Structure 1
Amino acid sequence: MSFEQAGILLLLVGMLVVFALDRLRMEVVALSGLGLAALAGLLPAPAIFSGLSSPAFVTVVELLLIAQVLGRSGLFSGLAGRISAAGWSTRSTSAILCAVTAVISVFMNNIAALALMIPVVFSVCRATALDPRRVLMPVGFAALLGGLCSLSGTPANLIVSQQLGERTGRAFAFFDFAYAGVPVMLAGVIVTVFWAGRALRDGGAGMPGHPGQMRRRVVTEAVIPPGSAFVGTAVAALPVRVHALIRNDRHVLRRPQAQLEVGDILLLEAESTRVSDWIAEGMLARLPFSAPLTGRPERVEAVIMPESTLVGSRLRSLESFHSRGIRILAVAAQTPRIEGRFDDLQLSIGDILYLEGDRDAIDEAVEETELLSLWPTPQRPEDGGTSRLPLGIFAAGVVACILGAAPPLAFGGVVLVLAAAGSLNLRRGLAELDWPILIMLAAMIPLGQAVETTGAAAVLADGLMHALPGEHPLVMIGAVLLLAVVVTPFVNNASTAIVLAPIAMNIAGAAALPPEPFLIAVALGASIDFLTPVGHHNNTIVMGIAGYRFADFLRIGWPATLAACATAILAIPFFWM
């Protein structure tokens, strides 16, 4: 193994470990890895920024812009009412919601599809008295499964298609992924709906369909007021988790028998409804807010989406809210690391912010920071009202892809027509893109190419060939698929596809087999991610919204994972060998 081969492999392994630890922002890790590769001579200078001109990167940007327009078009405004009025059973309602989500995700990025469906899910649950916890996880899985079926469904499909085109001169067609993707999607959705209906029967998330009263565990800061029943109570005796006790502006060591005094400030973690009850009963009180509340204060819950500008920010730095007199009452945080004061809390994807202030000011701040309002529903109508024009323009782009047009050209034409028709404001659209993901993708693409150009992919492929128990095509395809399934819970699916696609093609070449089935296996395996809440942003988002535990994903996800993997291993050779 040469220096270049060993260097790129060690670099990628180190990056995957840092990705999995989730201590640094993903774009920082990717850019750092790209810089180290350039300094070590693993990448030629012209290739450093080649990711920005990659067809996969350009197409992802175009699809995200199109998804913004479709989301604001109002096409799904009446969907919740029609589903609610049908009078279906709980399982049938869940199945319909999952089916609609999967179909939307075929043509749209799976995160955008989930964001569109979350308000629909809550509206249906509220009208049918259905517990959202029984629906949100299956809907999140359905968004991942629908993305398996087309070139636009997930970046992993675009990446393997680009690598196939670079190797053979012929990329995948728009619906080539559907041959194996549709059976996998159907198997995964069916198993998820039936299994989740049984396993999540006793979720008990609060008022059904009402996100404003779901019992989530939140982190908040409160003071012990005069006359509180907690005065004189030992910290260890409190029925909540206390992260910090501040007395006279100093942190007090929490001895088991330390007793609370009037004026003590607690950084605590408890169910949101319990905290509200204690404040109403005078046992706790909110800390004074530095800015006066204007207008009639209302409360809003909003979830941090992957494209939000708040990802990685601390509460003290949220000027979009502070400048408008908006108070952050509590945070349903995904991170287990709670240190310092409440204002020191660092936000991550899927966190729920409990906001209080003037409703118009909150709506402006939520829009500015790219949050998704959960409850109450947004006051103002979506831009442009209900229009079928964007859908028709997008459909024309899909048809162009089916007829053989290159995706960057076809969807680039869609973006230009939408902008010319006034449906897309390019300046606003580009500002609202999920730039951390895009920067990470642009940085990882050259590193994936280096795996191929240095010969590291061939070395790894040879090692895997010798490690496999047999040389039957089904065994090799299954091994590639399972390798992608094992890696993707710890690394985003785009990075998984970038790293594994060259290895898969080299395995195919060594076995004298076509590369298409192996690349399909990589793309499918990179999106079969149901076992952890951290492997895909969809899982992280629904965990924050519904208050699922880590173990819930293992409990609900393993049947879907087995069904999807088994179907994929059978479908790929059937359609592609």
Structure 2
Amino acid sequence: MNSELMLVLLLLGITMVLFVVNRPRMDAVAIIMVTVLPLTGVITLDDALAGFSDPNIVLIAALFVVGEGLVRTGVAQRLGDLLVRKAGRSEKRLIPFLMTIVAGIGAFMSSTGVVAIFIPVVLRVARNAGIAASRLMMPLSVAALISGMMTLVATAPNLVINAEIVRQGYASFSFFDFTPLGIPVLIVATLYMLVARRWLIDKTSTGTQGLHRPRLAQWIEQYGLSRREYRIRLQAESPWAGCRLEELSLRARHAINVIAVERRRGLGSVIIAPDANTRLRRDDVLFLDVHSSDPDVRRMCDQFRLVLLPISKNYFSDQTQAIGMAEIMVPVGSRLIGKTVLDLKFRTIYELAVIGLKRGSKPMDGDVLNEPLRFGDTLLVSGPWRAIRRLQSQTADLILLNMPAELEDVVPAPDKAPFALASLGVVVALMVTGVVPNVQAALIGALLLGLFGCIDMPSAYRSIHWQSLVLIVGMLPFAVALQNTGGIDLAAQLLLGVVGEAHPMVVLAVLFVVTAVLGLFISNTATAVLMAPVTVAVATALGMSVYPFAMTVAIAASSAFMTPVSSPVNTLVVVPGSYRFVDFVRVGVPLTLLVMITTVLIVPWVFPF
């Protein structure tokens, strides 16, 4: 071992220690090493900075933007709603559905982003099903990690390892080369989690998002809305068809608020937050807040050719992407005092319908639309979220008191979901066919998302996890330094010395274990940067194909199940799941062994030695 290699190993050891203690933060450590390594003379400054121009860095950044487009258009949330509809309250059904959906989405976007999206979804599912969040949060994190095993672009370690084998002169992995490994691992992990969930003690989450906010279901109960909710459909011969809501004067004549309009569009329907100028069409479905009696409503339906439709108890909660609620208070000195909601033309001015009134702590029954407002009255309003947010700047006559916890789930551009899916389809098609390089395909997808309005420039920049990019750039010079000083060959020789003349499958198992153990102390991305050249050297020394060894290391890098600090994915679920360190050890160690066995058995079938 020469002095230059010893110096590089010393700096690498210092880097790993700083990563473990997280002082300073990892991206700062990476920048420090980019600065220090050229001073050793082992690599040049150009070598140290080469990572900033690496196409894979641009590819990862573009994929963050593509993932954000799926977030902003509500694709993930809609799949979460599908989970609720299909799985119901059965924990045995929830876990397979949850893990399949999360792994599927994570195959095309950041696993960390997937978990951030699904935490509130899973909390809502757990609450509705009467299941402790701790029983579902661990399957969520496991599925997100496994999603990195599904496609080439699913996680940064895959791209790092692929870039190394390309740099060494080998052909790139294709987009779906990982899938034959990822699917069996997902199946094994799902079956395992159905058993391991019993080891997770039921706990009550104390750190959930929106815990301090009321929920729509609470307001519906407090204000007695469930007794006043109706859905009606306009028949073709209804005299309401073609009329504007202002012309019908439904609030004044029938004490009716039209909260939402469901309108057919294409093969589906859209939810419209109506205003005075909304013109009704035949077959429109109106969601009503009615202050009249049930017989009056039925007589009105007969008179105006309307069909009374069934309504679910969760209707408000199901429509939160389009329609929101808020509590507002009438302050002292407000110009609204002494006037009724109808007198004020409240909906025309604020684009919000008043659907409840609380005087003191007691909600009022009867027709609140004709009740003169007093100082201190609390109004429950419903309407588009943009109108609710606008109340925050209107403090003279109204004070915004409360917004519901469901606000956390609202996405900015739900109507753009088809365009987001189409853009994603273009990216996948370009990557699978190889018509253009992967980085160009991702950039095309990001531009399409911007063109269709799925994402804007500020949100695109915010979506990029700069810390991860800087970390990769900072670790790449170590791989070059170890190559230049003979460290890669030495590591390969040590590994071969351990396995001796053992069967290649034993070598795969050893590589998996080394990668997984190293991932306990540093990020899986940094692990991939260090292990990729070692893997190529081991395969070359054995005179075998590089692909089974590279694939094994990529799978192992994503198998960060064993501690809460092995991956940001695990860290995110610690608080919502009320987990302890030992929970990850208890569940993660057996799972890692199962994934290793599955990988070692299947890899040689897919990628022969």
Q: How far apart are the structure 2 equivalents of 1:142 and 1:211? A: 24
Which residue pairs with 2:301 in the alignment? none
Does the alignment pair 1:398 with 2:428?
Answer: yes
Q: How far apart are the structure 1 equivalents of 2:180 and 2:481? A: 30
Which residue pairs with 1:454 in the alignment? 485
Does the alignment pair 1:382 with 2:408?
Answer: no
Give the TM-score normalised by the residue count of structure 1.
Answer: 0.69
Which secondary structure does the structure 1 equivalent of 2:552 belong to?
helix
- Alpha-carbon deviation of 1:362? 14
Residue segments in structure 2 that go unaligned for 5+ positions in a row: 214-327, 330-387, 394-402
Which secondary structure does the structure 1 equivalent of 2:211 belong to?
helix
Which residue pairs with 1:470 in the alignment? 501
Which residue pairs with 1:96 in the alignment? 97
Which secondary structure does the structure 1 equivalent of 2:406 belong to?
coil
Q: How far apart are the structure 1 equivalents of 2:160 and 2:492? A: 19
Which residue pairs with 2:196 in the alignment? 195
Q: How far apart are the structure 1 equivalents of 2:502 and 2:390? A: 63
Q: How far apart are the structure 2 equivalents of 1:199 and 1:361? A: 47
Does the alignment pair 1:433 with 2:464?
Answer: yes
Which residue pairs with 1:567 in the alignment? 598
Does the alignment pair 1:39 with 2:69?
Answer: no
Once the two structures are superposed, what CA deviation does each residue of 1:463-513 show, in whole Å capped at 9, x if it has no partner? 221122533211111111110011112111110000011011111111111
Asked if 1 retains the 8 angstrom alpha-carbon contact of 2:89 and 2:130, the reply is: no
After superposition, the Cα gap between the structure-2 partners of 1:454 and 1:413, relative to the gap in structure 1 and judged at 3 Å, is farther
Asked if 2 retains the 8 angstrom alpha-carbon contact of 1:191 and 1:560, the reply is: yes
Once the two structures are superposed, what CA deviation does each residue of 1:412-433 show, in whole Å capped at 9, x if it has no partner? 1111222233322234311342
Which residue pairs with 1:204 in the alignment? 203
After superposition, the Cα gap between the structure-2 partners of 1:65 and 1:78, relative to the gap in structure 1 and judged at 3 Å, is closer
After superposition, the Cα gap between the structure-2 partners of 1:468 and 1:111, relative to the gap in structure 1 and judged at 3 Å, is same
Asked if 1 retains the 8 angstrom alpha-carbon contact of 2:133 and 2:205, the reply is: no
Which residue pairs with 1:516 in the alignment? 547
Q: How far apart are the structure 2 equivalents of 1:79 and 1:180? A: 24
After superposition, the Cα gap between the structure-2 partners of 1:79 and 1:107, relative to the gap in structure 1 and judged at 3 Å, is closer
Deviates more, 1:514-523 or 1:420-429: 420-429
**Structure of greater Rg:** 2
After superposition, the Cα gap between the structure-2 partners of 1:45 and 1:79, relative to the gap in structure 1 and judged at 3 Å, is closer
Asked if 2 retains the 8 angstrom alpha-carbon contact of 1:130 and 1:208, the reply is: no
- Alpha-carbon deviation of 1:38? 1.2
Which residue pairs with 1:149 in the alignment? 150
Q: What amino acid maps onto 1:20 in structure 2?
A: V
Which residue pairs with 2:243 in the alignment? none
Which residue pairs with 2:60 in the alignment? 60
Q: How far apart are the structure 2 equivalents of 1:380 and 1:479? A: 43
Once the two structures are superposed, what CA deviation does each residue of 1:22-62 show, in whole Å capped at 9, x if it has no partner? 23200111111221111111221211211111122111100
Deviates more, 1:497-506 or 1:164-173: 164-173
After superposition, the Cα gap between the structure-2 partners of 1:362 and 1:111, relative to the gap in structure 1 and judged at 3 Å, is farther
Q: What amino acid maps onto 1:484 in structure 2?
A: T
Which residue pairs with 1:543 in the alignment? 574
Which secondary structure does the structure 2 equivalent of 1:168 belong to?
coil
Q: How far apart are the structure 1 equivalents of 2:181 and 2:601? A: 9
Matches within 5 A, 1:168-567: 168-196=169-197, 198-200=198-200, 202-205=201-204, 212=211, 376-378=405-407, 381-386=410-415, 387-404=417-434, 405-567=436-598
CA RMSD of aligned residues (A): 2.7
Q: How far apart are the structure 2 equivalents of 1:132 and 1:443? A: 37
Asked if 2 retains the 8 angstrom alpha-carbon contact of 1:397 and 1:414, the reply is: yes
Which secondary structure does the structure 1 equivalent of 2:446 belong to?
helix
Once the two structures are superposed, what CA deviation does each residue of 1:117-146 show, in whole Å capped at 9, x if it has no partner? 222212212221121110011111110011
Q: How far apart are the structure 2 equivalents of 1:6 and 1:68? A: 43
Which secondary structure does the structure 1 equivalent of 2:76 belong to?
coil
Once the two structures are superposed, what CA deviation does each residue of 1:367-425 show, in whole Å capped at 9, x if it has no partner? xxxxxxx9823268421223210111111111111112321111111112222333222
Asked if 1 retains the 8 angstrom alpha-carbon contact of 2:38 and 2:44, the reply is: yes
After superposition, the Cα gap between the structure-2 partners of 1:162 and 1:194, relative to the gap in structure 1 and judged at 3 Å, is same
Asked if 2 retains the 8 angstrom alpha-carbon contact of 1:484 and 1:526, the reply is: yes
Q: How far apart are the structure 1 equivalents of 2:516 and 2:64? A: 25
Which secondary structure does the structure 2 equivalent of 1:480 belong to?
helix
Asked if 2 retains the 8 angstrom alpha-carbon contact of 1:27 and 1:440, the reply is: yes
- Alpha-carbon deviation of 1:548? 0.6
Once the two structures are superposed, what CA deviation does each residue of 1:260-311 show, in whole Å capped at 9, x if it has no partner? xxxxxxxxxxxxxxxxxxxxxxxxxxxxxxxxxxx87xxxxxxxxxxxxxxx
After superposition, the Cα gap between the structure-2 partners of 1:377 and 1:75, relative to the gap in structure 1 and judged at 3 Å, is same
Q: How far apart are the structure 2 equivalents of 1:80 and 1:126? A: 14
Asked if 2 retains the 8 angstrom alpha-carbon contact of 1:79 and 1:120, the reply is: no
Which residue pairs with 1:351 in the alignment? none
Q: What amino acid maps onto 1:402 in structure 2?
A: V
Asked if 1 retains the 8 angstrom alpha-carbon contact of 2:561 and 2:591, the reply is: yes
Q: What amino acid maps onto 2:582 in structure 1?
A: A
Asked if 2 retains the 8 angstrom alpha-carbon contact of 1:55 and 1:162, the reply is: no
After superposition, the Cα gap between the structure-2 partners of 1:39 and 1:174, relative to the gap in structure 1 and judged at 3 Å, is same
Q: What amino acid maps onto 1:436 in structure 2?
A: Q
Q: How far apart are the structure 1 equivalents of 2:207 and 2:525? A: 35
Q: What amino acid maps onto 2:211 in structure 1?
A: G
Deviates more, 1:205-214 or 1:496-505: 205-214
Which secondary structure does the structure 1 equivalent of 2:502 belong to?
coil
Asked if 2 retains the 8 angstrom alpha-carbon contact of 1:465 and 1:471, the reply is: no
Does the alignment pair 1:25 with 2:25?
Answer: yes
Q: What amino acid maps onto 1:566 in structure 2?
A: I
After superposition, the Cα gap between the structure-2 partners of 1:46 and 1:93, relative to the gap in structure 1 and judged at 3 Å, is same
Which secondary structure does the structure 1 equivalent of 2:143 belong to?
helix
Give the TM-score normalised by the residue count of structure 2.
Answer: 0.66
Which residue pairs with 1:11 in the alignment? 11
- Alpha-carbon deviation of 1:81? 3.9
- Alpha-carbon deviation of 1:575? 1.4
After superposition, the Cα gap between the structure-2 partners of 1:120 and 1:206, relative to the gap in structure 1 and judged at 3 Å, is closer
Which residue pairs with 2:129 in the alignment? 128
Q: What amino acid maps onto 1:408 in structure 2?
A: V
Which residue pairs with 1:218 in the alignment? none
Q: How far apart are the structure 2 equivalents of 1:569 and 1:379? A: 42
Q: How far apart are the structure 1 equivalents of 2:83 and 2:462? A: 34
Matches within 5 A, 1:156-175: 156-175=157-176
Q: How far apart are the structure 1 equivalents of 2:430 and 2:7? A: 42
After superposition, the Cα gap between the structure-2 partners of 1:83 and 1:179, relative to the gap in structure 1 and judged at 3 Å, is closer
- Alpha-carbon deviation of 1:207? 9.5
Once the two structures are superposed, what CA deviation does each residue of 1:9-28 show, in whole Å capped at 9, x if it has no partner? 22212211221122320011
Asked if 2 retains the 8 angstrom alpha-carbon contact of 1:206 and 1:213, the reply is: no
Asked if 1 retains the 8 angstrom alpha-carbon contact of 2:419 and 2:452, the reply is: no
Which secondary structure does the structure 2 equivalent of 1:148 belong to?
coil
- Alpha-carbon deviation of 1:211? 7.0
Asked if 1 retains the 8 angstrom alpha-carbon contact of 2:203 and 2:577, the reply is: no
Q: What amino acid maps onto 1:40 in structure 2?
A: T
Q: How far apart are the structure 2 equivalents of 1:204 and 1:210? A: 16
After superposition, the Cα gap between the structure-2 partners of 1:54 and 1:142, relative to the gap in structure 1 and judged at 3 Å, is same
Asked if 1 retains the 8 angstrom alpha-carbon contact of 2:55 and 2:439, the reply is: yes
